[in-house]
Each structure stands twice: as C-alpha cells, then as structure tokens.
Chains A and B, each alone.
Chain A
Amino acid sequence: MSAGRSLHLRLLAAAAVSVTLALAVAGVVLSDLFAGHVRARQERELANHLDQLAAAVEPDASGRPALIRPLSDPRFQRPLSGLYWQVSAGDLAVLRSRSLWDAALALPGDGLTDGDLHVHQTLGPEGAPVIVAERLLRFAGGDDGRFRLAVAEANAELNRAGGEFNRTLALSLVALAGVLVVATAVQVSIGLQPLRRLRSELAEIRAGRRERFELGLAPAEIVPLIGDLNHLLEHSAEVVARARVHAGNLAHGLKTGLAVIGNELDLLDPVAAATLRPRLDDMLRQINHHLGRARAAAAAGLPGWRTEVAPVVVALRRTLLSLYADRPPAITIECSSFLTFAGEKEDLEEVLGNLLDNACKWTAGQIQVSAHTTHDGDDDEGSVGKAASQQQCDTWIKLEIEDDGPGLPEGREAEILNRGVRLDESVPGTGLGLGIVRDLTALYGGRVAFSRSSLGGLKVTVLLPESYQCAAASNFRPPQNWIYPIDIM
C-alpha cells in the first residue's frame, strides 16, 4: 500500500499540514501581540520615568539644569544597568544618569515641540540598542532654557522577555500540534474502522468462512456500499447456479438424445453402426468434457468455497459400497476431521469419486484413502509450491488413494490421464474419469501423480489447495484423527 493510496496516510498528512499552518499563524500573531503589549508597557514606564525626571530637574543659580533629588529607580545609579536618563541642551548632554557612566545617548535630531513625547530606537552605551523616550523641558523665565529630557531602556530587556515568551509559545504550540495530530490519527482510525471491518469480512468471504457482509453495525455512509456488495455476491452465486442448471438441462437433453440414437444404432446393420458408434462416443466425450469444464471454470472464480473433506469421503464410501454390493471392498479411511478443501464440494466429489470408483473396479478387496495437510516444498512437491504462490495457497491437501489391484503398466502414467483413453477395455467405463480428475485438479492449481502402492496396486496422489482450518465453523467434528477399521461385511 503506497502512501498516496492509503486513505489513512492521506488524511493524516492533510491534518498535519493544516494543523502546522494554523498553529504557525497563531504563533506569529500571538508573538506580535505580546511584543506590542510589552512595548506599550515599556513606553508607559519610560513616560513615568520621564515625568519623574522632569519633576526632579530644576535650574540652578546659573540657570543650568540640576538634579534636585535622585530618581527612585535604583537602576539609574548602577552603571550600565540598562536604564538611563539624560538631559541635553541642543546636541550636548548636560546632565546624565550615573548608569550612563561616561557615555551619552545619541539622540536623533527631530522637531520636538512642547508637550510631545517621542519614542526612538537608538544606540546606548557600548553600542547596545536602546529605546528612548524624550520630551522638551522649558524652565520658566529662561529664553533659551529648552532642554531635551530623555529616558532610555536597553532593548535587551524587551528582547529577553519577548524571547522567553516566544520560546514558551513555540513549545506550547508544538505540544498542541502533537496532541492534534494524535487526535486526528485516532479520529481517522475510528472513522476508517468500518472499512477495515469490511476488508476483514471480505477476507473471510474469500476464505469461505462467511457468505455475505454484515450490515448490522455499519455506519450510514457504508450501508449502501455493503448492500451493493452483498447484491453482487448474491448475483454471482445466482449466475453460477443458473449456469449450472442450464448446463445440467443441456446435458440431460443431449444425453437422452444420444442414448436414443445409440440404441437405434444397435438395430442397424453392424457395418453402418460400426462407423457411427465412434462418432457417437466422441460426441459424448466432448459434451462431458466441455460441460464439466464450463461448470468448474464458473465455480473456480467465486470466492469462499470451502468443503470439509471427511464427510465427502465418507459419503462416497457409502455410495461405492452400495454400488459394489456384489463384491464390497474394504475401504479404509484416514482423514483429519478438520481438513477443508478450498473449492467446491462437487469438484472434490468428482475427483475422489472417480479415483475411488477406479480403485473399486480394480481392487482385489482392499482400498485405502488418506487425506493429510502438507506444506510447500514437502518431499518432492517443489513444483506445486510454485503454483501455490500464484494461487495464494500455502497449505495443500494430499489425497492418497491406494488399491491392491494390478496397478499400472510401467511408463503409461501420462497416457491414462488423457481424455477418453482407456488402458483396459475389459472393465466397463468411458475412460473419462481420470481426465476429469486431471482437469479439475489443474483448475485448482494442484497435481496428480501415480505410483505403486504398498498394497500392491495403484497409488494415486492428488494435491488440492487447503482452506483455512477453522474449527469453529465446522459442524462436523468426529475425534481428531479417525480411522475406519477394515470392517465391511
């Protein structure tokens, strides 16, 4: 899942960007407001100092200004304390605070008139920037008794306060941003929860543990989507069911017709019948093959097929014992009860039914069926492992059907899987059975192999994909591993 495609990441990124922007703007505005406030306060303070200075400066006998009482703030006395005052006549500093030491405030020349209070930025002692408030003072009676009174405070003070505030502000805003992003993440996670549930339900449907999406707890925005998905699921199931019914009807109609033609052939002159009979058999093979494939192909695309193996084996055994009631073979079953095939029941029945029927035809009395889970790369199944990755299947069912019959002639294994080929014409059958087994197995990405059984006859090994082992969903629960003894009649 790339970042661009994840709703989760997308929503988070958008939230992070907008939170950062909003908080940055808030930070700038707050910082400005604070700076303005501090500055106004400082100006007010400077004005107070100025008033005090004006009240403390009186002309002496020679008409020069003199400080008649010290100013209250002790910082005026401490050298380079950052708070200064100065009385100038023209450009010349005539009286200075002790804190100025031997420096003077450089006052910009401006048209200061009576009663004005001017505030400037200028340089103080040691070139440190200061803020200066100044006003004119005129002694009564003196013509030329105009003095500029100035009080200055170092900017450092102001800057320190602003810096401290900004640091605190930045820390708070970053913390706030963190909280907001986390809150958004939680919100997104809660908001996307229904989608996540939908996804896990879909996985369950694919695994066959569920038939449709749950509508119950879904939020109103998702309900129509779930409805549509359920509708789609039902629709595909219906289409398959309908196709199957049609295929069945077609098969019934065609085969009944073929039966009639076949029977009429028997009444014909044997030479004519001999030329038509193979055509008839071929038609039948074509019908069986293609109808089977069509049905299987339709079913294989559907998610959620899941078939328990054990009940199918048991039902087939019951059926075969009834069909071979003349000489009932002993059929031993060894099958873990929770083994489930990731496919359709009818397909498993076809595969197992044909193989078991074959075993029943040839057996001298003993047949063994076993079904186990096997993993990729088990013994010689390397090639199946590769097919597995395409099929998203990591476990397989290994079905082994063995009999004590005559077995296969050497080197003819490949041949018997071919459609319609029969190695022995003396035992009834159409020769289609193993072809169907091959087709169905291939459809599920599995494999068929032949070898010699320890019982003496043929051993057929089939690998089919296994579904999740989900004991909770199982209605069929005999003991963990159950074995039928050789018990039949």
Chain B
Amino acid sequence: MRVLVVEDDAALGPQLREALAGAGYAVDWAADGEEGYFHGETEPYDAVVLDLGLPKLDGLTVLRRWRKAGVAVPVIMLTARGHWHEKVEGIDAGADDYLTKPFRMEELLARVRALIRRAHGHASADLACGLVRVDTRTARVTMDGAQVSLTAHEYRVLVYLMMQKGQVVTRTELTEHIYAQDFERDSNTIQVFIARLRKKLGEGLIVTVRGLGYRMDAG
C-alpha cells in the first residue's frame, strides 16, 4: 500500500511520513502543491493525505486537477480552520474525508485505513484468506491464530494481494504499490518477497499466473 503525503510544514510532513511508514505503508512526501500534483498524477497511490494550505498550488486546486485528470485515488484532506464551508468545498472538489488540525496520529491512520478499505470494497479492518488473517489496524498477521512476523515489504505485498483477492496482480503493479518513489526498485525482488511469504504462510496461498502475475484465491 502506497500513500502520498502533501504537506508543506517541515515538521509535520516528516512526522506523517514516519507514522504512515510505521503503519506499514510506502510513503512519498511532497512539500508543495505542484510537486504533490505531479506525484499524484504520475504514480499509482492507494491514498493521499492532502493539506489544504500549500505553497505554489493550493490543496483544493490540486484535488480538482487530479479529479479532472481522472485520478480516482482516495484523498483525505487536512484543514486548519475546520469550517464546514471548507469541508463542503473539499468534498465537492473530490475529497473523500477530512481531518481538522491538530489531529491525533491514530485518528489519521484509522481514516487512511478506512479509506483504502472502502476503496477496495472491504467493510472490515480485518482481511482474511484461508487460515491467514491480517488486522490492518495493528498490522498484525496471524496464521491459524499464531502470529507471523513479516518485514515491511512482505507486509505490503501481502496486504495488497489480499485487498485484490481473486484478481490477478501484475508484478509491475505490485512494485508500484509497495515502494516509495525514492526507493531503488527491482522487480526481481518481488519474486523474493513472494517466495518468503509462501514459506511463512504456506505454498498454496499465492498462485503464480504465468506471464501475468500473482493471485490470491478466495477461501
């Protein structure tokens, strides 16, 4: 799961990045509206945290341009004033949720989680496939009730596949959704992650669809 943070504050930006990364997301941080717009338009994010008061291009304009360009990523906007006027404007511009500053980080993480879940049509914070269960609130993975320890990348691959349960996910798509932008990408490492996941969670969990990618079957 990959998240874009667009926030100009030099302290809050890194805090958001750390917190989201700590919750298992691959995070990109843009410090102004133009950069944020560019990232959001070119990279496939699973959620965006967008501040409204941004230099160069304000948050609402960024949002409207994304929606106009067909970028459908769920967006949670951060407002300082918290006026309903802003909320109405934000939602009408295409935001999916809002959070008034200052906010508790847990609150933000819960909202981001809920947005991603909603975007994938999941009602519960728990993902399940066979004996494997993932609690996205705590990033805890269990296999038949016993906790399994995963690295951040393995966790992201697992959650992304579980979110798309029953569908084929290409290797490129996986790469795009588990790495932050500044990360050195190597699509071969995906194979390594898949192999490790199969080792930790059982061979039958992830099916390789030859020439296309991977699929996690329902059940």
- Map CB proximity to A onto B84-109 as digits: 1 under 8 Å, 0 otherwise: 11011001100011101111110100
Q: Which residues of chain B are within 8 angstroms of A352 by Cβ–Cβ distance?
A: 84
Within 8 A of B (CB), among A196-250: 248
Which of B19, B84, B103 gathers the greatest number of chain A CB atoms within 10 Å?
B84
A44 within 8 A of B: no
B202 within 8 A of A: no
Q: Which residues of chain A are within 8 angstroms of B114 by Cβ–Cβ distance?
A: 326
- Please tell me if the beta carbons of B81 and A251 are within 8 angstroms of each other in the complex: yes
- Map CB proximity to B onto A358-380 as digits: 1 under 8 Å, 0 otherwise: 00000000000000000000000
* Bound: A430/B83 CA distance, A: 14
- Please tell me if the beta carbons of B104 and A262 are within 8 angstroms of each other in the complex: yes
- Please tell me if the beta carbons of B11 and A260 are within 8 angstroms of each other in the complex: yes
Chain A residues engaging chain B, CB cutoff 8 angstroms: 248, 251-256, 258-264, 266, 280, 284, 288, 291, 315-316, 318-319, 322-323, 325-326, 345-346, 349-350, 352-354, 428, 430
- Please tell me if the beta carbons of A252 and B53 are within 8 angstroms of each other in the complex: yes
Identify which of B85, B96, B100 contacts A325 (C-beta below 8 A): B96
* Pairs across A and B, CB under 8 Å, 30 listed: A251-B80, A252-B53, A254-B80, A256-B80, A256-B101, A256-B102, A258-B101, A260-B12, A262-B102, A262-B104, A263-B105, A264-B15, A266-B105, A280-B102, A288-B82, A291-B81, A315-B92, A319-B87, A319-B92, A322-B91, A323-B87, A323-B91, A345-B85, A346-B84, A346-B85, A349-B84, A350-B83, A353-B84, A354-B84, A430-B100
B118 within 8 A of A: yes
B9 within 8 A of A: yes
Which residue on A lies nearest to B114, using beta carbons? A326
Q: Which 4 A-B pairs have the closest CB atoms?
A: A353-B84, A259-B102, A252-B80, A255-B101
- Please tell me if the beta carbons of B101 and A318 are within 8 angstroms of each other in the complex: no
- Please tell me if the beta carbons of A318 and B81 are within 8 angstroms of each other in the complex: no
* Bound: A325/B80 CA distance, A: 23
* Bound: A315/B9 CA distance, A: 31
Q: Which residues of chain A are within 8 angstroms of B91 by Cβ–Cβ distance?
A: 318-319, 322-323
With contacts A252-B53, A322-B96, A325-B96 known, is A259 near B88, CB below 8 A?
A: no
* Bound: A280/B200 CA distance, A: 44
Within 8 A of A (CB), among B146-204: none
Q: Which residues of chain B are within 8 angstroms of A353 by Cβ–Cβ distance?
A: 84, 87-88
Q: Which residues of chain A are within 8 angstroms of B118 by Cβ–Cβ distance?
A: 325-326
Q: Which residues of chain A are within 8 angstroms of B85 by Cβ–Cβ distance?
A: 345-346, 349-350
* Bound: A349/B90 CA distance, A: 14
The A interface, classified by DSSP as helix, strand, loop or mixed, is helix
- Please tell me if the beta carbons of B80 and A263 are within 8 angstroms of each other in the complex: no
Q: Which residues of chain B are within 8 angstroms of A261 by Cβ–Cβ distance?
A: 102
For residue A367, give the distance in angstroms from its CB to the closest CB of chain B: 16
- Please tell me if the beta carbons of B96 and A260 are within 8 angstroms of each other in the complex: no
Which residue on B lies nearest to A258, using beta carbons? B102
Identify which of A256, A318, A354 contacts B9 (C-beta below 8 A): A256
* Bound: A254/B15 CA distance, A: 17
* Bound: A252/B88 CA distance, A: 18
For residue B95, give the distance in angstroms from its CB to the closest CB of chain A: 8
Q: Which residues of chain B are within 8 angstroms of A430 by Cβ–Cβ distance?
A: 100
Which residue on B lies nearest to A349, using beta carbons? B84
Identify which of A252, A258, A280, A354 contacts B81 (C-beta below 8 A): A252
For residue B56, give the distance in angstroms from its CB to the closest CB of chain A: 16
Which residue on B lies nearest to A247, using beta carbons? B81
Identify which of B15, B19, B80, B84 contacts A255 (C-beta below 8 A): B80
- Please tell me if the beta carbons of A350 and B101 are within 8 angstroms of each other in the complex: no
Q: A260-B9, A316-B84, A349-B83 are in contact. List 5 more A-B contacts (CB 8 A).
A: A252-B81, A255-B101, A263-B15, A319-B92, A350-B85
For residue A30, give the distance in angstroms from its CB to the closest CB of chain B: 77
Q: Which residues of chain B are within 8 angstroms of A319 by Cβ–Cβ distance?
A: 84, 87-88, 91-92
Q: Which residues of chain B are within 8 angstroms of A262 by Cβ–Cβ distance?
A: 102-104
Q: Which residues of chain B are within 8 angstroms of A345 by Cβ–Cβ distance?
A: 85
Q: Which residues of chain A are within 8 angstroms of B123 by Cβ–Cβ distance?
A: 326
- Please tell me if the beta carbons of B98 and A323 are within 8 angstroms of each other in the complex: yes
With contacts A248-B81, A354-B84 known, is A255 near B102, CB below 8 A?
A: yes
Q: Which residues of chain B are within 8 angstroms of A288 by Cβ–Cβ distance?
A: 82
Which of B12, B85, B105 gathers the greatest number of chain A CB atoms within 10 Å?
B85
Q: Which residues of chain A are within 8 angstroms of B12 by Cβ–Cβ distance?
A: 256, 259-260, 263
* Bound: A326/B123 CA distance, A: 8
For residue A128, give the distance in angstroms from its CB to the closest CB of chain B: 99
For residue B51, give the distance in angstroms from its CB to the closest CB of chain A: 8
- Please tell me if the beta carbons of B102 and A284 are within 8 angstroms of each other in the complex: yes
- Please tell me if the beta carbons of B84 and A350 are within 8 angstroms of each other in the complex: yes
* Bound: A291/B82 CA distance, A: 12
* Bound: A422/B84 CA distance, A: 20
Q: Which residues of chain B are within 8 angstroms of A318 by Cβ–Cβ distance?
A: 88, 91-92
Q: Which residues of chain B are within 8 angstroms of A322 by Cβ–Cβ distance?
A: 91, 96
